[in-house]
């Protein structure tokens, strides 16, 4: 899950919970020698560097936590490549430039380049964003096929559809998290397609658009005849299913919904399949005697997987252990829960959940699927069926009178927000912090052919009382987010004090 808030036209990117503002060069910043080929990338091999800034000439830098360098030991052309390296967990750096877009007006285009990685725990990728008079027309940041781990130099393609209204193109390189990535030899090339859209390609586009219109949660807000025509124009000349991927990516961008995406097949022959959350676990702390804080990380594996079951069981056992040691109140810290699998996270927090209804999904037709909780299972129920999503091996629940504080932030997103909703409105529960990220829809992957998928918001989330959530969750106790770095400690402090005011904690203090 990602989110509902429409941010497609905004100059920023969010990957793996890191938000980076785009800082492109002004359009037309290419050198005189490039004036006859306006889609030429300036300093595409990172050979020239500015002595004052120590940045590659012609490129802008956004984000933090990484060092940029010209590497004379690892390159494919010229004498250098761009090296981006760092060791901070929460770090993200983007190197971009903006150029004129005449080259994508009348023909399908491709941004190509080369990436090499060592120890990338997050992601490394290329980026292309095409803007028109009203904002973003197309974006591909390799979100569904990033480079991770250790890889040798390999070729990467980002295909762009025909976009007659394009005004500028921003290209770049992105690195999220620890490790080192090298980039070299970026360039544009015209994609070879046929003169006429083939029947196979036309059928794939039309079938995909039918699925979008039928299942998208905000379908009534879309001018489908206009969108269909724009996408068919962008698909001009496509011969194969794979040729239609850029046009379908464009179709998703036309929804104006940043929780929707088009997932291209992963190029597993070259890319490492490292899963950065394989060792994830809930961190337990005690900000005050008797009060237990659970910091929940984003977890992407399912509750029936081996790491998923381990994650759930370890957390359940720790909650039971702290209860036995006299815990009187709890703080569920979702401030860094940027997404993942809601069922695995809810399973890990099962002893703290309060039955029976936790929340629900509501689709565009008003059909409801409720999240039901019993000590031994979490299920999804409709009028016609019940589907167990999480089985709890050793059921255990805390004292119902114990207070539970839930902490939010702007990084609490998608499945993190679903986890938060499961506590919203529960007895003896209060929420603290700042508004969440606003990704409160449920995504459904819809196969498109040849391993690709349309990832589409098909329902909204609702709380246990049936109230549908649109956009961000607002905490019960809103903390001023202008307080800078002190805000996080203030949120925790206020939550701890509220928990300690409970009769449960007072009884513990009296006994001691």
- At a CB cut-off of 8 Å and minimum separation 6, what does 306 contact? none
Residue tagged 């990685």 (tokens): 117
Say yes or no: 51 and 175 in one domain. yes
Say yes or no: 346 and 484 in one domain. yes
Q: Which residues of the chain have pLDDT under 70?
A: 1-39, 103-107, 192-195, 266-279, 481-488, 507-512
Domain containing 77 equals 12-192
Q: How far apart are CA 373 and CA 162, in angstroms?
A: 49
SS3 category, 93: strand
Q: How far apart are CA 62 and CA 47, in angstroms?
A: 20
400 lies in a domain?
yes
Q: How far apart are CA 505 and CA 448, in angstroms?
A: 54
SS3 category, 131: strand
Cβ count within 10 A of residue 283: 13
- The rounded Cα 484 to chain-centroid distance in angstroms is 24
Of the candidates 171, 192, 213, which is a domain's last residue? 192
Say yes or no: 495 and 363 in one domain. yes
DSSP 499-510: HHTSHHHHHHHH
Give the chain's domain count.
2
Distance (Å) of CA 229 to CA 113, 164, 247, 251, 451:
31, 13, 11, 10, 25
Contact 502, 402 (CB under 8 A): yes
Q: How far apart are CA 441 and CA 5, in angstroms?
A: 10
Say yes or no: 187 and 306 in one domain. no
117 lies in a domain?
yes
216 lies in a domain?
no
**Nearest-CA neighbor of 100 among 56, 179, 39?**
39
Q: With 0-12 CB in 10 A as exposed, 13-18 as middle and 19+ as buried, what is 49?
A: middle
Say yes or no: 307 and 433 in one domain. yes
Contact 462, 24 (CB under 8 A): no
Contact 202, 437 (CB under 8 A): no
265 lies in a domain?
no
133 lies in a domain?
yes
DSSP 21-40: E--PPPTT-S-GGGTTSTTP
Q: How far apart are CA 93 and CA 265, in angstroms?
A: 25
Measured over all CA atoms, what is the biggest interatomic distance in the chain, rounded to whole angstroms?
Answer: 83
Phi, psi of 304 (to 5 degrees): -95, -5
SS3 category, 354: coil
**Nearest-CA neighbor of 450 among 238, 215, 161, 302?**
238
pLDDT of 266: 65
Contact 212, 260 (CB under 8 A): no
Residue tagged 């239609």 (tokens): 244
Cis bond upstream, residue 356 (ω within 30): yes
274 lies in a domain?
no
Query: pLDDT tens digits for 254-295?
Result: 998 888 988 887 643 333 333 444 568 899 999 999 999 999
Contact 360, 462 (CB under 8 A): yes
What's the CATH code of the domain at 371?
3.90.226.10
Give the number of C-alpha atoms closer than 13 A to the C-alpha of residue 233, restricted to the C-beta side.
13
Contact 360, 371 (CB under 8 A): yes
Say yes or no: 166 and 292 in one domain. no
Of the candidates 192, 220, 236, which is a domain's last residue? 192
pTM of the full structure: 0.76
205 lies in a domain?
no
Please compute Rg for the chain using Cα positions: 25
N-terminal to C-terminal alpha carbon distance within the chain: 45
456 lies in a domain?
no
What's the CATH code of the domain at 30?
2.60.120.260
Say yes or no: 296 and 401 in one domain. yes
Query: pLDDT tens digits for 296-324?
Result: 999 989 999 999 999 999 999 999 999 99
Helix count and strand count (H, E) for the chain: 8, 24
Say yes or no: 289 and 163 in one domain. no
Q: How far apart are CA 468 and CA 414, in angstroms?
A: 15
Say yes or no: 305 and 159 in one domain. no
CA angle 242–243–248, rounded 5-degree value: 85
Of the candidates 192, 214, 234, which is a domain's last residue? 192
pLDDT of 210: 95
Q: With 0-12 CB in 10 A as exposed, 13-18 as middle and 19+ as buried, what is 152?
A: exposed
């Amino acid at each position: 899950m990602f989110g509902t808030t429409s941010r497609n036209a905004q100059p920023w990117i969010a990957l793996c919970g890191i938000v980076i503002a785009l800082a492109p060069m002004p359009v037309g910043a290419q050198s005189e020698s490039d004036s006859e080929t306006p889609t030429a990338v300036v300093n595409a091999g990172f050979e020239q560097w500015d002595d004052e800034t120590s940045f590659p000439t012609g490129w802008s830098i956004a984000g933090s936590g990484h060092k940029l360098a010209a590497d004379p030991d690892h390159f494919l052309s010229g004498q250098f490549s761009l090296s981006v390296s760092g060791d901070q967990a929460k770090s993200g750096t983007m190197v971009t430039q903006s150029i004129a877009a005449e080259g994508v007006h009348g023909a399908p285009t491709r941004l190509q380049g080369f990436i090499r990685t060592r120890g990338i725990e997050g992601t490394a990728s290329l980026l292309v964003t095409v803007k028109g008079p009203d904002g973003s027309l197309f974006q591909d940041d390799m979100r569904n096929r990033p480079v991770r781990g250790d890889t040798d130099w390999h070729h990467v393609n980002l295909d762009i559809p025909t976009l007659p209204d394009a005004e500028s193109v921003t290209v770049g390189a992105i690195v999220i998290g620890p490790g080192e990535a090298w980039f070299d030899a970026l360039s544009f090339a015209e994609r070879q397609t046929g003169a006429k859209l083939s029947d196979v390609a036309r059928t794939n586009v039309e079938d995909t658009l039918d699925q979008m219109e039928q299942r998208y949660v905000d379908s009534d807000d879309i001018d489908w005849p206009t969108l269909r025509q724009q996408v068919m124009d962008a698909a001009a000349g496509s011969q194969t299913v794979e040729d239609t991927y850029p046009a379908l990516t464009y179709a998703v961008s036309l929804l104006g919904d940043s929780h929707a995406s088009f997932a291209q097949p992963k190029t597993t022959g070259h890319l490492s399949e490292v899963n950065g959350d394989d060792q994830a676990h809930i961190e337990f702390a005690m900000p005050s005697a008797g009060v237990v804080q659970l910091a929940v990380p984003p977890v992407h594996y399912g509750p029936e997987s081996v790491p998923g079951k381990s994650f759930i069981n370890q957390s359940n056992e720790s909650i039971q252990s702290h209860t036995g040691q006299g815990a009187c109140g709890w703080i569920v810290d979702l401030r860094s829960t940027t997404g993942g699998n809601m069922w695995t996270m809810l399973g890990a927090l099962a002893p703290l959940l309060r039955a029976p209804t936790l929340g629900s999904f509501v689709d565009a037709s008003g059909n409801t699927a409720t999240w039901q909780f019993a000590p031994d299972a979490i299920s999804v129920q409709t009028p016609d069926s019940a589907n167990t999503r999480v089985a709890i091996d050793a059921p255990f629940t805390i004292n119902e009178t114990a207070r539970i504080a839930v902490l939010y932030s702007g990084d609490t997103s998608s499945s993190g927000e679903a986890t938060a909703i499961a506590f919203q409105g529960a007895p003896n529960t209060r929420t603290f912090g700042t508004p969440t990220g606003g990704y409160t829809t449920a995504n459904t992957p819809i196969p498109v052919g040849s391993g690709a998928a349309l990832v589409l918001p098909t329902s909204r989330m609702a709380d246990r009382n049936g109230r549908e959530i649109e956009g961000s969750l607002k905490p019960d106790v809103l903390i001023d987010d202008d307080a800078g770095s002190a805000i996080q400690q203030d949120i925790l402090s206020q939550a701890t004090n509220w928990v300690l005011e409970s009769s449960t904690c007072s009884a513990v203090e009296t006994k001691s």
